[in-house]
Amino acid sequence: MRHLLCLFLILGLACNQSAVEKSNDKPSTDAKSDQTVKEKDNMGFNKLTKEEEHIIVNKGTERAFTGEFNNHYAKGLYTCKKCDAVLYRSETKFKSGCGWPSFDDEVSGAVKRVPDADGRRVEIVCNKCDGHLGHVFTGEKFTAKNTRHCVNSLSMSFIPEDKFERAIFASGCFWGTEHHLNKVDGVLAAVSGYIGGTVKNPTYKQICTGTTGHAEAVEVIYDPTKTSFEALAKLYFETHDPTQLNRQGPDIGTQYRSEVFYIGEEQREITLKLIKILKDKGLNVVTKLTEAPQFWDAEGYHQDYYKRKGTLPYCHTYKKKFD
């Protein structure tokens, strides 16, 4: 149970983190929705051109200063050319002058680091499909994060910010919240993280103390032509118990509270409407409704937790609540 894991973490007695992280090596193979209709290969991945195959499959490197995204600073998301996984947010892109797109952080859990065949560098690959992205370097002091993901433009696609929307839901242990929301057709990414508290860049260990004010939550990035905030919010209410105050089942503490962090007035109104429907049915809903402050990604080993474990959530099961 999660609260026991937290207790072990606080006491520093358990949490075999290395074992947990090792299990992150297993790539997910779930096919996801896409912004455009792309031709697929027999593995369900996007068909690649010869040039893309040279980079992504055969671990090639495009010539410096030639890539589509080298000098590209529009707001949006960079996704895997092969499998459409969301890899980087434009907020983490910076000018390094090295000739390839540079990012100082990945979407948590999206990128895997492996030793390069050259014995010196660290190669980065897509965590979902193992497609080659480039290399990661540290200690160069370009940004505060002191990290540079040097990525081939040909390994990525770009989704501009007007082509996707975000929603943030807290419903107890984020492993379970993410599990259900991630399965919705049209969801591009569901990222476990922390929100609503006072600590910047919090760690799981800090969250476990219950004193940060943060809730465990999931940021859902979705294609609004394929799903909607209302559909996601209904699923959110139907996969946890919104009548439990500051807990979900065995997980007790404000970090496990039920809360919708709305982005824009429309999301607020839809959430209020759904809460009213549930209250009219006799449910004493305690879900909080708050305008979303900054969302902080949780550590990589929390992402896709149940998919990697091959198990099912212990306190998030679907129960129909809306007609």
Window 91 to 120, contacts with Zn ion (CB under 5 A): none
- The reply to whether 131 sits near Zn ion by the rule CB under 5 A is yes
Which residues have CB under 8 Å from 83's CB, separation 6+?
Answer: 31, 32, 45, 46, 126, 128, 129, 131
Nearer to Zn ion, 128 or 214 (CB): 128
- The reply to whether 85 sits near Zn ion by the rule CB under 5 A is yes
Are 177 and 217 within 8 A, CB to CB? yes
Nearer to Zn ion, 131 or 196 (CB): 131
- The reply to whether 82 sits near Zn ion by the rule CB under 5 A is yes
* Burial track 192-213 (b if 16+ CB lie within 10 A, e otherwise): bbbbbbeeeebebebbbebebe
- The reply to whether 83 sits near Zn ion by the rule CB under 5 A is yes
- The reply to whether 81 sits near Zn ion by the rule CB under 5 A is no
Q: How far is the CB of 88 from Zn ion (least distance, A)?
A: 12
Q: How far is the CB of 47 from Zn ion (least distance, A)?
A: 14
Residues linked to residue 165 through DSSP beta bridges, in sequence order: 222
Q: What are phi and psi of 128, to 5 degrees?
A: -90, -40
Nearer to Zn ion, 129 or 235 (CB): 129
Cα dihedral sign for 232, 226, 89, 73? negative
- The reply to whether 80 sits near Zn ion by the rule CB under 5 A is yes
Nearer to Zn ion, 82 or 257 (CB): 82
Give the integer Cα–Cα distance in Å for 31 and 167: 21
Q: How far is the CB of 67 from Zn ion (least distance, A)?
A: 17
Which residues have CB under 8 Å from 278's CB, separation 6+?
Answer: 237, 242, 285, 321
Point out the catalytic residue in the list 80, 129, 173, 315: 173
* 15 a catalytic residue: no
Give the integer Cα–Cα distance in Å for 59 and 121: 13
- The reply to whether 189 sits near Zn ion by the rule CB under 5 A is no
Q: Binding residues for Zn ion, per CB under 5 A?
A: 80, 82-83, 85, 126, 128-129, 131
Catalytic residues: 150, 173
